[in-house]
Amino acid sequence: MREFYERKKRINQLLPLFLFLLAIFCSSCSKESQEPEPIVKTETDVYAYEVTCTACEIQFLDKNKSIKTVINPNGKWSYPLEKISDAELKLSIKTTNGIYQDISAYILKNNEVIYGDLGYNSFNLLYNIKSEQKSMTYGNYNAGSGGSGSNGGSTKPSSSICGARTKAGGYCKRVVSGGGRCWQHS
């Protein structure tokens, strides 16, 4: 019986300490005190161009503000732009063959799509990093206007960046098994 009272006495001595620690824990996990993390632009942001086309000519503005041209990349082409903070990103694509062709063009920031879409036969993208002003023009596909046997259709935009759009404007990052393509939902 005496052991029972001694044990109860020790518990009563530790009870205020336990309640104090519990109160600190509960108040630190309060939802009211949590604020979303601000998006901080750092100089380590890496921008990139990403284009998917079959037979096309790509003109782009590089980090030295020079216009470069790539002809017939045949598939996916990308160009990273590191250590730029106040620049204008300019991308112009046109087909090099006479038949209908879809062109996917995107501007990425830290491997997340920030601007771009799917166009047909021609595509122009303009994005100003500092002001975040953007402009896009692209050709449309008209059913029956392509090569022989063309009966129209539609293709959803695609990029190597996957995931649903976040509140911050980027995309959730997902890994595609087998190295397949990611399809963005529009």
At 114-135, the pLDDT tens digits run 989 888 888 899 999 888 888 8
The first and second tokens of residue 145, run together, are 């206007």
> Residue 109 in contact with residue 50, Cβ under 8 Å?
no
pLDDT tens profile 131-167: 888 888 877 665 544 444 333 444 444 444 555 555 5
CATH 2.60.40 applies to domain 47-155 = yes
pTM (predicted TM-score): 0.55
Report CA torsion sign: 166, 170, 171, 172: negative
Neighbours of 118 (CB within 10 A): 21
Find the DSSP H helices in the chain: 2-28
Spatial distance between the Cα atoms of 106 and 76, rounded to a whole number of angstroms: 11
